[in-house]
């Protein structure tokens, strides 16, 4: 902790392209306590200097994505790489290109009223779409995992699902057979546990939600969609690559 020099970096990642956010200058990042404006780099990094130690509130606004706000203790970051990776969830109005695989839905309460800001998670459950398996046991608290049977190149900012827990790829090993986590694992996982594609987003002011998928390695695959607020039915749907699946209305109870 004593090594913290006030350097704090926020890396924004488009959850569709895994590149920097689209939208040009319509991106804003604020770190509580930072006096100087950040240096913005083409790769989506916002570099802050002279940030005071202690918990800092981070606010991110980008025109094509959902607003995000979270707290980070800057001095707990790796002093050699003090980066917070922020996957940006696209709004339903995001200009998706042709061939993007999407699940869309509308979130409402039992009276039919629009529900905004409701978190939604979708996990691919077809084994053929597994991104990788654990090469060895991963105890709780782990920040690094070793992989086997990796399918394709892993991406910084990619969200993956281990049974009962989502995680964000922070750094990818040079051989693509390991990666570091954004947050330590809350649970322990056995060797050969599958890492599945996972998408998290929320409903917009109209109650609409969109969940984009990539790297699923199959012309069709099964997805479980769950609302993470109140009570609702867990939906499982068959999704075809490159097409849009509309679930219609998801009704949630208090």
**Cα 174 vs. chain centroid, distance in angstroms?**
22
Q: Mean pLDDT by 10-residue block, N- to C-terminus, for the chain (254 residues)?
A: 75 94 83 91 92 91 93 83 94 92 95 95 95 97 96 95 95 96 95 97 97 87 93 88 94 86
The per-residue pLDDT for 117 is: 95
What is the pTM assigned to this prediction? 0.91
- Supply the pLDDT for residue 24: 64
The reported pLDDT for the residue numbered 95 is 92
Given its phi and psi angles, is residue 152 left (phi above 0), alpha (psi -120 to 50 degrees) or beta? left
In this prediction, residue 1 carries a pLDDT of 41
| Phi and psi torsions of 74, nearest 5° | -60, -40
Could you tell me the domains of the chain?
8-88 (2.60.40.1120), 94-254 (2.60.40.10)
pLDDT computed for residue 216 by the predictor: 79
The DSSP letter of residue 253 is B
Return the closest-CA partner of residue 181 out of 211, 141, 150: 141
pLDDT at 79: 80
d(CA 135, CA 147): 5
Q: What does the radius of gyration of the chain's CA atoms come to, in whole angstroms?
A: 19
Q: How far apart are CA 142 and CA 184, in angstroms?
A: 5
pLDDT number for residue 3? 65
Q: How many CB atoms lie within 10 A of CB 98?
A: 5
């Amino acid at each position: 902790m004593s090594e913290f020099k006030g350097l704090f970096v926020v890396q924004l990642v488009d959850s569709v392209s895994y590149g920097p956010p689209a939208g040009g200058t319509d991106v804003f990042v604020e770190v509580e306590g930072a006096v100087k404006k950040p240096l913005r780099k083409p790769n989506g990094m916002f570099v802050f200097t002279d940030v005071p130690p202690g918990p800092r509130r981070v606010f991110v606004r980008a025109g094509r994505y959902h607003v995000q706000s979270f707290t980070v203790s800057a001095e707990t970051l790796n002093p050699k790489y003090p980066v917070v990776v922020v996957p940006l969830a696209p709004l339903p109005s995001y200009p998706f290109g042709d061939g993007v695989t999407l699940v869309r839905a509308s979130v409402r309460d039992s009276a039919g009223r629009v529900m905004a800001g409701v978190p939604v998670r979708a996990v691919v459950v077809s084994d053929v779409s597994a991104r990788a398996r654990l090469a060895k046991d991963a105890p709780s608290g782990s920040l690094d995992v070793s992989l086997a049977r990796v399918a394709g190149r892993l991406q910084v900012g990619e969200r993956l699902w281990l049974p009962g827990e989502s995680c964000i790829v922070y750094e990818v090993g040079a051989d693509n057979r390991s990666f570091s986590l954004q947050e330590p694992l809350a649970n322990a996982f056995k060797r050969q546990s599958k890492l599945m594609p996972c998408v998290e987003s929320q409903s917009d002011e109209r109650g609409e939600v969109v969940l984009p998928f990539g790297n699923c390695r199959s012309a069709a695959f099964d997805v479980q969609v769950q609302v993470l607020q109140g009570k609702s039915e867990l939906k499982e749907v068959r999704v075809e690559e490159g097409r849009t699946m509309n679930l219609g209305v998801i009704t949630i109870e208090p």
